[in-house]
């Protein structure tokens, strides 16, 4: 399996990279993640469980029965890829596509 | 919308980044893309149409009613993000997740 295919097995599902991006700045509580991302709660719970199983993030038990999540070393190592995708999105999405110069012509 | 959210709107769907990765080395015919990726043909057709609409790739009409696809400038600009994700996948997927050192402890 190629590196990209392996990566997408873990973080290719909808919302996964968005969740990791939110946690790059530090641990966050479940409720804050859900509010900031606007992700349906059942989807968030599923993705957090999958990312925890894959060793990308881990759960931090807090008082008053609340939970927070933090990236592991493996999760933090996604920063470069996430920043690169975000730069591409900012630079290239929203522009008109027509007439884009094409070096492969 | 954040840069990452915008990027994933265009290349977040299943197979999209895998298709772009295949075309980074140059134009490919539909049949070769399908064989190399092992993607179901209806999925491939849908993704190619979406990526074409988004200005990420374009269709190259060939003889004998075959089609090839090539990345545009916008598509080629994904190389950095794809390489970064592939490096992460090669380095971090498949390793045991337990006990990963966590700087955020």
Task: Supply the DSSP string of B38-80, one letter for each residue.
Answer: T--HHHHHHHHHHHHHTTSEEEEE-STT-EEEEE-HHHHTTHH
| The predicted structure's pLDDT at residue A65 | 74
Among A71, A14, A12, A21, which residue's Cα sits nearest to residue B89?
A12
β-strands A28-29, A67-71 pairing: antiparallel
Position A71 pLDDT exceeds 80? yes
Cα distance from B23 to chain A (closest Cα, Å)? 11
Give ipTM to 2 decimals.
Answer: 0.85
Cβ distance of B103 and A17 shorter than 8 Å:
no
> What pLDDT, in 10s, does the model give residues A4-47?
999 999 999 999 999 999 999 999 999 999 999 999 999 999 99
Cβ distance of B84 and A81 shorter than 8 Å:
yes
Position B100 pLDDT exceeds 70? no
More confident residue, B48 or A102: B48
What contacts A53, CB < 8 A, 6 or more positions away? B97
B-chain residues within 8 Å CB-CB of A76? 103-104
Position B73 pLDDT exceeds 50? yes
Cβ distance of A90 and B8 shorter than 8 Å:
no
Write down all domains in chain A, each with its CATH number in brackets: 3-82 (1.10.10.10)
């Amino acid at each position: 399996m190629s590196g990209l295919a392996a990566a997408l097995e873990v973080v290719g599902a909808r919302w996964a990279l968005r969740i990791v991006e939110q946690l790059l700045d530090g641990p966050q509580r479940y409720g804050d993640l859900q509010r900031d991302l606007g992700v349906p709660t059942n989807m968030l719970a599923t993705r957090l469980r999958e990312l925890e199983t894959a060793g990308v993030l881990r759960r931090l038990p807090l008082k008053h029965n609340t939970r927070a999540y933090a990236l592991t070393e493996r999760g933090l190592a996604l920063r470069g890829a996430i920043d690169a995708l975000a730069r591409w999105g900012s630079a290239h999405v929203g522009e008109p596509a027509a007439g884009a110069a094409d070096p492969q012509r």
